[in-house]
Amino acid sequence: MTQHWQEILPVDQYSVASSGLLHEYDRKVLTFLYQPLIGPVCLSLYMTLWAELEENRLWSESTSHHSLMSLLDLNLKEIYQARLKLEGMGLLKTYMKNDDDNRFFIYELQPPLTPEQFFLDGMLNIFLYRKVGKNQFFRLKRFFADKSVRKQEQYSEVTRAFQDVFVSASPDALRYHRDSEEELAPPEGQEFIGRQSAEAIQIDTTTFDFELLTAGLTESLVPKKALTARVKEAISNLAFLYGIDPLQMKNLLLSALTAENEIDIDELRKAARDWFQFEHQDQLPQLLDRTQPFQLQSAKTEPVTQEDKLMQYFDKASPRELLVQLSQGATPSKSDLQIIEDIMFNQKLQPGVVNVLIEYVMLRTDMKLNKSYVEKIAGHWSRKQIKTVKEAMDLAKKEHRQYMEWAEEKKSKPKQQKKIIRKEVLPDWFESSQENKDQQKQVDFDFEKEKRLLEEELKEFKSGR
């Protein structure tokens, strides 16, 4: 797994380009519609790169990333993470060239969606609604809308057509333009300055199992021709947005099938949204990192030990996938998913760190996710700024006794005086630390029991000799 310093260094040079002229109105769209989803650091990076472009120009002078770090007062890792988010949101395209062991980057700014495109996107608008809430969402809609002029009702159009104002040129003039077509084009290696239309975010259709979907659809129900490229793009987006599997998607497609055996995409979106809200108590999905960001993953390309393999799994699996595995394939309960979602957003923990927390708590509490217990440990990890799987494992080993006391606080009774002797169930990775094994013995130490076990081992050892 590559780290940020393997992808970019302070000495690497970069230039800023723009796919077209960016307008002043784009600043409001970025600030009010995109910032809630990408955060202020990403917005600051975009605005800084934009500012490096001279007015009404498409290119900037080259400079180093070290100067960008100084301008933003951010370290290179934070800049790299912000860059990835801008790329994922469709606001930035990055190009790289290696020249004599030196790397040179081009950061091409992409215009944001128009307010109309954003609010009708079908994915970004859902994430924004969940992020800012109903009242703020509709306030933003009002901000980016204005009353339409009812010109058709009160006025009659008197606009002249082109042919009413102009006449055709003479044949001689036309001959001149045919001879000078090359002179009308921009010089070689240049392009006209203009405005490029923004591209909506599209989830790669290869991420959805269309083979399984079509296997469940007979020709008499939904003909294959109904699954057009546009329908497949909508299915991929909805599957990502709402976490819909191919079998459930089949039922949604049937509900959106028209009398002409075509898929009504608007009806499909509505059916998917209604299904998700029914399953999640009228809630809408939030924009989450599905897995641990690769810049925070293990630096080892090939795992060697069992602990390395487990760390790699925590890095690549989403918390939902881990819950499914721990439940032996069963769908996680809504309450468990809500607990995980809350700690990821409220405590700002990375998915891989949440995976470590899930396994630790589940094995400590008889495969139950106690909300208050999870939140208490998550709060501790958040304050300690735990970002990687290894950091989470190390801290769990170090603070195990403290976490045991927190768990016992909820079980302890004032009159209970008899010492409880128990065997702790712990993750396999926990046992890899000899130091924590010693701590575990101190916590669960039963002298008479340990004495008998030692005597039996000595007998077996002598008999083996």
Domains of the chain: which residue ranges?
4-114, 205-279, 288-465
Q: 């090939």: which residue's tokens?
A: 302
C-alpha angle 272/278/281, rounded to 5°?
130
Nearest-10 Cα torsion for 275, 243, 141, 264: -60
Strand, helix or coil for residue 108:
strand
Cβ atoms 330, 321 nearer than 8 A: no
Distance CA 137, CA 116 (A): 14
Confidence (pLDDT) at 136: 93
Query: Alpha carbon of 446 to those of 154, 200, 421, 438: distances in Å?
Result: 93, 64, 7, 14
Distance CA 57, CA 435 (A): 61
Confidence (pLDDT) at 3: 66
Burial bucket for residue 393 (CB in 10 Å: 0-12, 13-18, 19+) = buried
Cβ atoms 268, 239 nearer than 8 A: no
| Identity of residue 208 | F
Per-residue model confidence as pLDDT tens for the chain (465 residues)? 456 777 888 999 999 998 878 888 899 999 999 999 999 999 999 999 999 887 667 788 889 999 999 999 999 989 998 999 999 889 999 999 988 778 899 999 999 998 888 988 878 888 898 888 889 999 999 998 887 766 556 777 788 887 778 776 555 555 555 545 555 565 666 555 555 665 655 666 777 788 888 877 765 577 778 888 888 888 887 887 777 888 888 888 888 888 888 888 888 888 888 887 777 666 666 554 456 666 567 655 677 788 888 888 888 787 877 887 887 777 777 778 778 877 776 777 888 888 888 888 888 777 888 888 888 898 898 888 888 888 888 888 888 888 877 777 655 545 444 455 555 566 766 765 545 555 544 444 455 565 566 556 555 555 554
Strand, helix or coil for residue 102:
strand
Q: 């912000």: which residue's tokens?
A: 82
Q: Where are the beta strands (DSSP E) in 145-259?
A: none
What are the start-end ranges of the H helices in 243-388? 246-255, 265-279, 306-316, 319-326, 334-346, 351-364, 371-383
The two three-digit tokens of residue 259, written as one number: 């009398």
Query: Who contacts 284 (Cβ-Cβ below 8 Å, separation ≥6)?
Result: 126, 129, 130, 273, 276, 277
Q: 């992409």: which residue's tokens?
A: 110
What are the start-end ranges of the H helices in 52-203? 65-72, 76-88, 115-119, 124-132, 134-143, 151-154, 162-165, 171-179, 181-184
Confidence (pLDDT) at 443: 45
Query: Who contacts 40 (Cβ-Cβ below 8 Å, separation ≥6)?
Result: none
Instruction: Count other C-beta atoms under 10 Å from residue 391's C-beta.
Output: 18
Strand, helix or coil for residue 96:
strand
Q: What is the CATH number of domain 4-114?
A: 1.10.10
Can you name the residues that pair with 108 across neighbouring β-strands? 17, 93
The two three-digit tokens of residue 70, written as one number: 């100084």
Distance CA 356, CA 296 (A): 14
Strand, helix or coil for residue 225:
helix
Confidence (pLDDT) at 130: 85
